[in-house]
Amino acid sequence: MSSKYKGKKKVKNFKDLFVWQKAHQLVIETYRKTKSYPTNERFGLISQMRRAAVSVPANIVEGFRKRGIKDKINFYNIAQASLDELQYYFLLSKDLGYLKDETSYIQIIREVEKMLAGLIKSIKIQEE
């Protein structure tokens, strides 16, 4: 075995994926932050943000379990779209005055985006 793989943990389930761990953290942060939003947003922006946030790790889980490469990538692409949607909601939240600064949330979103892109790329390489 090459030294490149020394110390790498074998991925046995979705919880072992760093991208899932980071996406789960994003959900927790989204829930924490939206607790302070106005109650009149409970069925509007809060619901939409939480739904989009939860969609990211949920689609990573579904993609992880799929055997076909096209199916895997499809679920990971849905997770990417949900990240874009959530990014917009954080920008809107700032513009509406619910957030002073959205950059810390956008930074986590970008980290998850990069990790998902890497995962998709690695799957495509395996296909070749």
Q: Are 87 and 57 in contact (CB under 8 A)?
A: no
pLDDT tens-place string over residues 12-48? 899 999 999 999 999 999 999 999 999 999 999 999 9
Reply yes or no on domain 16-127 having CATH 1.20.1440.60.
Answer: yes
Instruction: Say what the pLDDT of residue 57 is.
Output: 98
3-state SS, one letter per residue, for 4-38: HHCCCCCCCCHHHCHHHHHHHHHHHHHHHHHCCCC
Please report which confidence band the pLDDT of residue 1 belongs to, taking 50, 70 and 90 as the band edges.
Answer: very low
Instruction: Say what the pLDDT of residue 10 is.
Output: 78
pLDDT tens-place string over residues 45-68? 999 999 999 999 999 999 999 989
- Reported as type and span, the H/E element at residue 49 is helix 45-65
pLDDT of 4 over the 70 cut: no
Task: Output the CA angle 3-9-13, nearest 5 degrees.
Answer: 150
